[in-house]
Amino acid sequence: MTTTAIPGLDQAPTAPRALVAWVREVAELTTPQQVVWCDGSDEEWRRLTTELAAAGTLVRLAAKPNSFWAASDPGDVARVEDRTFICSRREEDAGPTNNWMDPAAMKSTMTELYRGCMRGRTMYVIPFCMGPLDAESPKLGVEITDSAYVVLSMRVMTRMGTGALEKFIGRDGGEREFVKALHSVGAPLEPGRADVPWPCNPTKYISHFPEERAIWSFGSGYGGNSLLGKKCYSLRIASAMARDEGWLAEHMLILKLTSPHGTVHYIAAAFPSACGKTNLAMLQPTVSGWTAETLGDDIAWMRFGDDGRLRAVNPEFGFFGVAPGTGYHTNPVAMRTIEQGNTIFTNVALTDDGDVWWEGMTEQPPAHLTDWRRRDWTPGGGEPAAHPNSRFCTPIEQCPVVAPEWNDPEGVPISAILFGGRRATTIPLVTESRDWAHGVFMGATLSSETTAAATGEVGVVRRDPMAMLPFMGYHAGDYLGHWLTTGARAEPAKLPKIFHVNWFRRGEDRRFLWPGFRENSRVLAWIIGRVEGTANAAETPVGLVPAATDLDLTGLSTDPADVEAALAVDAAEWRAELPLIEEWFATIGEKLPGTLREQLAGLRERLAGS
Ligand SMILES: Nc1nc2c(ncn2[C@@H]2O[C@H](COP(=O)(O)OP(=O)(O)OP(=O)(O)O)[C@@H](O)[C@H]2O)c(=O)[nH]1
Ligand SMILES: O=C([O-])CC(=O)C(=O)O
Ligand SMILES: [Mn+2]
């Protein structure tokens, strides 16, 4: 087939020349049956959902309006960190925490994989914008994909289609820069062969070219591997942009808190995947007199405003949340968001009456389900009905507690930054840093047990700096240096205070010492008390920690001894932590900022004296 014969290729709407040329180049390489420029319209959504329902990729839910169930290939259920590459020109720029391959070598390998890979399929062109469309300089991208599931998910997760494409020409008439994001499931359709519900390829590559601001993804249809505006652009590529341009691209939720006195504070919090960001972002406080509203549940882009304060914008347009554990008793806001419909569920279980179910949604499972592997499922069989990393993909504007300013391109001023992980021992419920450098040390040494959000073993403690281990687009040492430099540029009094939290500390019988979820509002109230200078804390070797009596625990049924244990600083446990931190710092190597070495020495000294 000659390329000009590919239907749709030349039907580009008014698009910049650089984009049209790239689309042609990709079509010539991947040889799709047709090219479709996505406009993001309701009509497009209806057409694609109807097509995917007919193909068996989606099941339309009878019980929720305009909502769909998808079940992936059992081998394509999570991010693939071991197949994720940072292809900077120099290996040392990717650093010790990323897989690296020479960009030319990666491109030649992947070009061969891409050759003819869209045969028999439609190639979709998705113009999108991360962050508000009316930003001073909108952050644009185009994803080319052969997956209609990706198109639908991108419509929920990003501002895409005609509205985004209009931004490709700047106010001065020039063509704006955009990130080129190429995706294929890697499953060409042979003529006459039926398609499968979830095409993918056992060979997977999730590659990033930070200097060119490009992403090449092959073989997976799953979330973080295929919705390239999310982790690939908004964290890996954006972190490299942020380093060059003096801002921060972080794995953080953004939450608005209003105190009983009516003061408003915004906080940002970084927790590793499946460690509680979406839940905290939607938290409804139990502590009396407080309200909370959400601005984002996964990613924050932060830069200094004219007022000298660090201001955060959520680049996303929807939530891609973990389903298991989400129920009316844990996260009623998420439940009310998805009840409104317009949601794609992936790898949850399907009920006989056309609804969804997952572990933790209700106490009792239904008597019969179709599980995420499309098999009959009844309770007591020992296997979960939903995959532990099953997800809901739902529009942020449906959230009943979305803050009115969520779409403001100026962002919101951040009063406190929280770093948190999943640690059964050692890490207190909450610790305040002494200053920015100490807070960066807390973030740099953050650790957490691994979860089902990525393939690999679950429950292993690893260092996860700022919850960005799988998402830093460059050298970890330079990344930590960038955090220190960012703080040094600001007036200390205007910087957010930095805290370390741990909702997951356990007692000897493995029970959680702290009830978590909505009760985390009691910790947030204390944090705001520290920001406002009204709450008490005690100096400890690891930072400033409240006593149980410094927290508002009114109405909390948890055993006070458990709260004490959750807050305890155990010097022996901390001493055991030191060699782990040293090992991690050694991994970072020469580029580790000296300030962080000094912080470690200070911690060691304080622990020795305690
Ligand atoms: N014990 C306890 N579990 C929690 C708490 N918050 C969240 N969880 C559970 O942790 C899991 C992940 O929570 P999420 O809020 O979806 O995590 P996330 O950080 O948004 O995850 P990603 O979307 O992968 O980045 C869910 O099963 C929650 O039920 C908490 O405060 N305490
Ligand atoms: O990226 C994904 O697939 C889902 C997600 O939010 C994460 O893993 O942090
Ligand atoms: Mn989440």
What per-residue confidence (pLDDT) applies to 13?
79
Q: Are the CB atoms for 357 and 366 separated by under 8 Å?
A: yes
Specify whether 391 is located in the same domain as 475: no
What CATH number should be reported for the domain holding residue 498?
A: 3.90.228.20
Specify whether 213 is located in the same domain as 104: yes
Which of 226, 246, 266 is the endpoint of a domain? 246
Specify whether 150 is located in the same domain as 291: no
d(CA 150, CA 538): 50
d(CA 270, CA 423): 15
As a whole number, mean pLDDT of residues 457-480 equals 95
330 lines ligand 1 (CB under 6 A): yes
* DSSP H or E segment with residue 103: helix 103-114
Which residue, 246, 248, 365, is CA-closest to 299?
Answer: 248
d(CA 227, CA 217): 10
Residue-number span of the structural domain to which 482 is assigned: 249-316+405-609
Q: Which residues are annotated as a binding site for GTP?
A: 274-279, 391, 422, 517-520
Over residues 3-39, the pLDDT tens digits come to 457 888 888 778 899 999 999 999 999 999 999 999 9
What per-residue confidence (pLDDT) applies to 4?
54
> Which residues keep their CB under 5 angstroms from ion ligand 3?
277-278, 321
100 lines ligand 1 (CB under 6 A): no
CB under 6 Å to ligand 2: residues?
A: 79, 223-224, 230-231, 273, 298, 320, 453
582: in domain: yes
Over residues 555-574, the pLDDT tens digits come to 999 999 999 999 999 999 99
Site to substitute for ligand 2 among 228, 320, 326, most atoms within 8 A of C-beta = 320
Which of 373, 398, 423 is the endpoint of a domain? 398
In the reported structure, the alpha carbon of residue 489 is separated from the centroid of ligand 2 by a whole-number distance in angstroms of 31
* Nearest atom (ligand 2) to Cα of 79: 3
Specify whether 292 is located in the same domain as 368: no
In the reported structure, the alpha carbon of residue 470 is separated from the centroid of ligand 2 by a whole-number distance in angstroms of 10
471 lines ligand 1 (CB under 6 A): no
481 lines ligand 1 (CB under 6 A): no
Strands annotated E in 271-309: 291-296, 300-304
For residue 576, what are the CA distances in angstroms to 61, 423, 582?
Answer: 51, 14, 11
What CATH number should be reported for the domain holding residue 51?
A: 3.40.449.10
Active-site amino acid positions: 275
Domain count within the chain: 3
1: in domain: no
Which of these ranges, 167-176, 218-227, 242-251, 514-523, has the smallest mean pLDDT?
Answer: 167-176
Using DSSP's 3-state secondary structure scheme, residue 541 falls into: coil
What per-residue confidence (pLDDT) applies to 610?
80
Site to substitute for ligand 1 among 81, 275, 517, most atoms within 8 A of C-beta = 275
Specify whether 102 is located in the same domain as 137: yes
Looking at the chain, how many residues does it have?
A: 610
CA 46, distance to chain mean position in Å, is: 27
Specify whether 213 is located in the same domain as 277: no
70: in domain: no
As a whole number, mean pLDDT of residues 152-170 equals 97
Specify whether 546 is located in the same domain as 447: yes
279 lines ligand 1 (CB under 6 A): yes
The CB density around residue 251, as the number of other CB atoms within 10 Å, is: 26
The CB density around residue 576, as the number of other CB atoms within 10 Å, is: 12
d(CA 349, CA 247): 41
In the reported structure, the alpha carbon of residue 525 is separated from the centroid of ligand 3 by a whole-number distance in angstroms of 22
Q: Are the CB atoms for 606 and 541 separated by under 8 Å?
A: yes
453 lines ligand 1 (CB under 6 A): yes
* Nearest atom (ligand 1) to Cα of 297: 20
* Nearest atom (ligand 1) to Cα of 321: 23
d(CA 410, CA 378): 50
d(CA 314, CA 42): 24
In the reported structure, the alpha carbon of residue 248 is separated from the centroid of ligand 2 by a whole-number distance in angstroms of 19
Q: Are the CB atoms for 451 and 274 separated by under 8 Å?
A: yes
Ligand nearest to the CA of residue 455, numbered in listed order: 2
Specify whether 285 is located in the same domain as 388: no
Ligand nearest to the CA of residue 276, numbered in listed order: 1
Q: How far apart are the first and last CA of the chain?
A: 75
Q: Which residues are annotated as a binding site for substrate?
A: 79, 222-224, 273, 389-391
71: in domain: no
As a whole number, mean pLDDT of residues 321-343 equals 97
65: in domain: no
220: in domain: yes
62: in domain: no
In the reported structure, the alpha carbon of residue 551 is separated from the centroid of ligand 1 by a whole-number distance in angstroms of 22
Site to substitute for ligand 2 among 230, 394, 464, most atoms within 8 A of C-beta = 230
Using DSSP's 3-state secondary structure scheme, residue 350 falls into: strand
Over residues 103-125, the pLDDT tens digits come to 999 999 999 999 999 999 999 99
Specify whether 152 is located in the same domain as 227: yes
316 lines ligand 1 (CB under 6 A): no
Give the dihedral sign, CA 464/470/474/475: positive
* DSSP H or E segment with residue 567: helix 560-567
What CATH number should be reported for the domain holding residue 337?
A: 2.170.8.10
d(CA 104, CA 347): 36
Specify whether 279 is located in the same domain as 367: no
Specify whether 442 is located in the same domain as 511: yes
What per-residue confidence (pLDDT) applies to 540?
98
Asked if pLDDT for residue 2 goes beyond 50, the answer is no
Asked if pLDDT for residue 1 goes beyond 50, the answer is no
Q: Whose CA is nearest to atom 1 of ligand 2?
A: 224
* Nearest atom (ligand 1) to Cα of 320: 23
What per-residue confidence (pLDDT) applies to 15?
84
285: in domain: yes
Over residues 280-318, the pLDDT tens digits come to 999 999 999 999 999 999 999 999 999 999 999 999 999
Asked if pLDDT for residue 147 goes beyond 70, the answer is yes
384 lines ligand 1 (CB under 6 A): no
d(CA 295, CA 169): 28
The CB density around residue 379, as the number of other CB atoms within 10 Å, is: 11
d(CA 322, CA 387): 10
d(CA 89, CA 85): 12
As a whole number, mean pLDDT of residues 129-144 equals 97
Asked if pLDDT for residue 390 goes beyond 70, the answer is yes
Averaged confidence pLDDT in the chain: 96
In the reported structure, the alpha carbon of residue 278 is separated from the centroid of ligand 1 by a whole-number distance in angstroms of 7
For every residue of 22-52, DSSP letters joined together read HHHHHHHHH--SEEEE----HHHHHHHHHHH
Specify whether 458 is located in the same domain as 368: no
d(CA 366, CA 385): 10
Which of 398, 415, 441 is the endpoint of a domain? 398
